[in-house]
């Protein structure tokens, strides 16, 4: 059922700690379940996407955002005959290491960690699944397959991630652009007049208005967001299918050696999304109603960080044991098999 260049569970490079295969679940399906049942996944419920959790009933959290990314990842993977389970597992784990309080929280932690190796949520997500989760008595972490862990890395220019990892990356982008916009409209820090400068909003607005001229206000906005997502997914599928067809990769390994990523937007949508991203940063992520609440929350987090740094014994015994164990996990570094 999968294309020749799709990642196959049966061909997985395996786990850091060998385990017998499951009778009726593939390796990537097992990874998906381990992520969903992890403590870090449950904590996503209380982490801010843009607006502080509890601000309103319908605003998104990292957990709802993650579920939306996983859903879009499966849609794109299926359309391209790639491995849905792998794309979904990567999507479900991609924000496990994200800080609280959205963009502001990550910036604050990066500042606090400047003299301690820095902080970047993708690296932290990998650390969570390799070390910080500990549900199994025989090894640290979740012991996920190479392919899922590799999908959580930020790759260098000389080697691309798997197509399934590329899908999860773009699905994340599609989700937070459209749904952060949706939440900002719900939270009334944006109005539709401000969106006149967004080409992608205007395109979908015209399409929805032509189909449903009776829609107004919030109803109209919801349907415009839906149309934006549909247009972006269709664009990614069509553009990626053409790129894959032109490259003619015969195996997953060949897709990694391509000079540019095969899963991508069209040039037109790349430009439109760049403009939308700039719009969101200018008008939403650092809006006074968002920034002030996050500033107070981040100052609280800074104080907690300083207290633990000053008195690490307050962390308890397990974090200190994990710190001592770091030297023994050098072999957890992800390297491609020969």
Q: What is the pLDDT of residue 55?
A: 58
Query: What pLDDT sits at residue 191?
Result: 77
Q: What is the pLDDT averaged over residues 275-302?
A: 84
The β-bridge partners of 15 are: 145
Identify the residue with better confidence: 216 or 190: 216
Give residue-wise pLDDT tens across range 18-30. Answer: 999 999 999 999 9
pLDDT at 327: 42
pLDDT band of 336, cuts 50, 70, 90: very low
| Domains, the chain, ordered by start | 23-332 (1.10.3210.10)
Three-state SS for 118? coil
Split at pLDDT 50, 70, 90, the class of 288 is confident
Average pLDDT over residues 154-171: 84
So what's the pLDDT on residue 172?
94
Count CB neighbours of 109 within 10 A. 23
pTM over the 0.85 mark: yes
Cβ contact 175:72 at 8 Å? yes
How many other CB atoms sit within 10 Å of the CB of residue 71? 13
**48 and 61 Cβ atoms separated by less than 8 Å:** yes
| Amino acid 57: pLDDT | 62
Confidence of residue 51 (pLDDT cuts 50, 70, 90): low
Asked whether 269 and 200 are in contact (CB, 8 A), the reply is yes
218 pLDDT higher than 70? yes
Q: How many CB atoms lie within 10 A of CB 158?
A: 8
pLDDT tier for residue 334 given thresholds of 50, 70 and 90: very low
Reported confidence tier of residue 242, pLDDT bands at 50, 70, 90: very high
Judged by average pLDDT, the poorest of 102-106, 226-230, 296-300 is 102-106
């Amino acid at each position: 059922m999968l294309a020749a260049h799709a990642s196959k569970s049966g061909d997985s490079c395996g786990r850091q700690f060998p385990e017998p295969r499951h009778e009726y679940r593939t390796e990537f399906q097992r990874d998906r379940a381990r992520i969903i049942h992890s403590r870090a996944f449950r904590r996503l419920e209380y982490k801010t996407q843009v607006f502080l959790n509890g601000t309103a009933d319908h605003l998104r959290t990292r957990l709802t955002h993650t579920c939306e990314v996983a859903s879009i990842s499966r849609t794109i993977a299926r359309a391209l005959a790639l491995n849905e389970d792998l794309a979904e597992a990567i999507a479900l784990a991609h924000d496990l290491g994200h800080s609280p309080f959205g963009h502001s929280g990550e910036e604050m932690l990066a500042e606090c960690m400047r003299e301690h190796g820095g902080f970047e949520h993708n690296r932290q997500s990998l650390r969570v699944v390799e070390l910080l989760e500990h549900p199994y008595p025989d090894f640290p972490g979740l012991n996920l397959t190479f392919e899922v862990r590799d999908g959580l890395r930020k790759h260098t220019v000389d080697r691309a991630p798997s197509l399934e990892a590329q899908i999860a990356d773009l699905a994340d982008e599609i989700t937070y652009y459209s749904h952060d916009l949706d939440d900002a409209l719900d939270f009334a820090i944006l109005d539709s007049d401000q969106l006149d400068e967004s080409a992608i909003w205007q395109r979908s607005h015209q399409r929805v208005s032509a189909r449903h001229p009776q829609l107004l206000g919030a109803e109209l906005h919801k349907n415009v967001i839906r149309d934006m997502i549909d247009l972006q997914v269709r664009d990614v599928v069509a553009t990626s299918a053409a790129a894959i067809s032109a490259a003619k990769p015969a195996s997953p390994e060949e897709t990694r050696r391509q000079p540019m990523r095969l899963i991508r937007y069209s040039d037109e949508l790349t430009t439109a999304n760049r403009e939308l991203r700039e719009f969101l940063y200018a008008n939403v992520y650092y809006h006074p109603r968002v920034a002030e609440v996050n500033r107070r929350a981040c100052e609280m987090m800074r104080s907690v960080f300083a207290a633990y740094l000053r008195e690490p014994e307050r962390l308890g015994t397990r974090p200190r044991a994990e710190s001592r164990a770091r030297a023994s996990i050098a072999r957890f570094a992800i390297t491609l098999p020969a």
